[in-house]
Structure 1
Amino acid sequence: MRSWIQVPADKEKALGQVAGSGADVVVVDLARAGNADAKQHSRLAARDWLVSHREQLVAARRFERWARVGPVSSPQWRDDLDAALEGAPDGIVLAGCSGSEDIQQFAAMLYEGEAKAGLRSNSIRIVPELGGTPLAALNLAAFANELHARIVGYGWDAAALARSIGARRMRGPGGLWIDPLAHVRAQVLLAAHARGLQAIEAGFRDHRDAEGAERAIKAARADGFTGMVAMHPSQVDAINRNFAPSADETAEARELIGLFSLNPGAEVMPFRGRYVGQAELARAKALLGEA
């Protein structure tokens, strides 16, 4: 899944247009704070959107339907999750995840929510957003260890971290992330690849700067991310285009998969002058959509 577009649940016009964005994943954002009336309106809007797009019979390009809720320290996340589950989403982005305890608590509530909503057990996947506070950023190495089976990828929230440290900017000269954000970005990328998960780059926030967005997207792809958040529909095409596998990558992936298919049970194989194992095989299958 290359392109992940986030749309606030309280933005009616944006919700009405996002299905045609061309994104692989549409994430309806319920994590934004608000008063009781505003939150209830957002929950109803998110539920209705998820329900209405469950069957994509006439969609030009199929997409997954996700919701963003959390953090688990907030007072409203459980009601947000209940509303999202009524729409049977494909997955949940867990905002503000600070540690494995958050994931365990969230997964337990998700299990109960699936049963309550009549959904298949363990059918909903999780992508936690990591490193959003200084303390969470300093504990990122733990996410390279075995965690919950529902997790399919890691993301990060650059804006949340910048706010939490009082930064007045997120990027410096040339569009490079400032040092604290670059540190978290690198740790999220490494943790994801350590577990064979998707690594999702934070979005480029200024949708009016198409040239800057293109540079950021190219950098994310070159650095090893498997996908990126789009902050606006205008960014989706560039993400899809830059993250699409090249002909050489596709050929190499097919060759690698073929090698292991001829050697069932092998854990490590020599391949193009190096040794490859199950992690490389998983990446090759994911690149070809066979994961």
Structure 2
Amino acid sequence: MTTFPMGPALLFCPADRPERFAKAADRADAVILDLEDAVAPEDKEKARENLAASALDPERTIVRLNPVTSTSFRADLEALAVTEYRYVMAAKAEDPSAISHSLRHYRVIALLETALGVVRAADIAQAKNVEALMWGAEDLLASLGGQSSRQSDGSYRSVAVAARSAVLLAAGAYGKGAIDSIYGNIADTAGLETEARDGAASGFAAKACIHPGQVAAVRAAFAPSEDEKAYARDLLAAAKGQGGVFSFRGEMIDGPLLRQAEQTLRRAGILG
């Protein structure tokens, strides 16, 4: 897992709802002020005014911009320029050169939510100002002409699983953080926590939330249990002085398993 400095639970907040900004920032590890999908076209200018007037912690605030190719992008940048925010989310990212040029002054979370964006994930991850990759399931399926990213039981369709894996692998290959897509069923906190646990175990550094009620489940999923922490501590202690492969509690231990134990303690905030 490559770390992401803001913590595991990122909460979207529509930029046309300024009364929610501070509450969202208080409840989550970071807030994503959304100028894109969450705001109707007729409300975008007011949303930009709200953004320009806001004063959240720049180290815990991300601004989701409209796509670089959209007619709204330039106005978004003008509103952003008068703020201290330097983390941006590039919606429907597809072109690494556009990210490197148009957003060169910002730290970018590239949101890959089209077929072309996912196919180019490795190229986008190599852009110097890209801090992390995130994938978006529903926009991706729409770009493919599909109807839904999930089966009736809530599990992802195979194409969504493939996209999720491709984005995670591209981020890991180039040392960038990976952020897991949202979980749309707000009432199903158990399903959210299961999915978030899988994301944490697979190497995602964070997961996006669409409701404050999802934050606790995501935090719980990314926080190792007491048993997991104790096992990792004991394993790393037992590894001291060992050379190569050794046995620990009936299991053969080698380098990858030690690195996994270190990741567990990093997630717990015990290792730097």
**Bin of the TM-score, shorter chain as denominator length:** 0.7 to 0.9
Tell me what 2:170 maps to.
191
Q: Distance in 1 between matches of 2:262 and 2:62?
A: 23
Contact 2:32 2:63 in 1 (8 A): yes
Q: State the shift of 1:165 in Å.
A: 2.0
Aligned residues: 254
TM-score by length of 2: 0.79
Q: Is the 8 A contact 2:94 2:124 kept in 1?
A: no
2:127 counterpart (142, 147, 159)? 147
Preserved contact between residue 3 and residue 239 of structure 1 (Cα < 8 Å): yes
Report the Cα distance in structure 2 between the residues aligned to 1:25 and 1:205, rounded to whole angstroms: 19
Structure 1 stretch 86-95 or stretch 8-17: which is displaced more? 8-17
What is the aligned counterpart of 1:6 among 12, 19, 22? 12
The partner residue of 1:274 within 254, 261, 272 is 254
Matching of residue 40 in structure 1 with residue 22 in structure 2: no
Structure 1 residues 284 and 99: CA distance shift in structure 2, 3 A: farther
Q: 2:78 is aligned with what amino acid?
A: D
Deviation (angstroms), 1:283? 5.6
Residue 102 of structure 1: which of 98, 109, 115 is its match?
98
Cα displacement (A) at 1:252: 4.3
Structure 2 unmatched ranges of 5 or more? 1-6, 247-252
TM-score by length of 1: 0.74
- CA distance in structure 2 between the partners assigned to 1:68 and 1:30 by the alignment: 6
- Residue 25 of structure 1 is matched in structure 2 by 30
Letter in 2 for 1:196: G
Please give the residue correspondences for 1:61-210 in structure 2 after superposition, counting only pairs within 5 Å.
64-108=60-104, 111=105, 124-130=106-112, 132-143=113-124, 146-148=126-128, 150-210=129-189
Aligned-residue identity in percent: 24
Q: RMSD between aligned alpha carbons? A: 3.3
| Cα deviation digits, residues 165-203 of structure 1 (max 9, x gap) | 232222114321112221110101111111222211001
Relative to structure 1, is the Cα distance of residues 19 and 147 closer, same or farther in structure 2, using a 3 angstrom cutoff?
closer
- Counterpart of 1:242 in structure 2 is 221
**Residue 105 and residue 31 in structure 1: after superposition, are their counterparts in 2 closer, same or farther (change >3 A)?**
farther
- Distance 1:282-1:73 versus aligned 2 partners, 3 A rule: farther
2:102 corresponds to which letter in structure 1?
A: F
User: 1:26, CA displacement in angstroms?
Assistant: 0.5
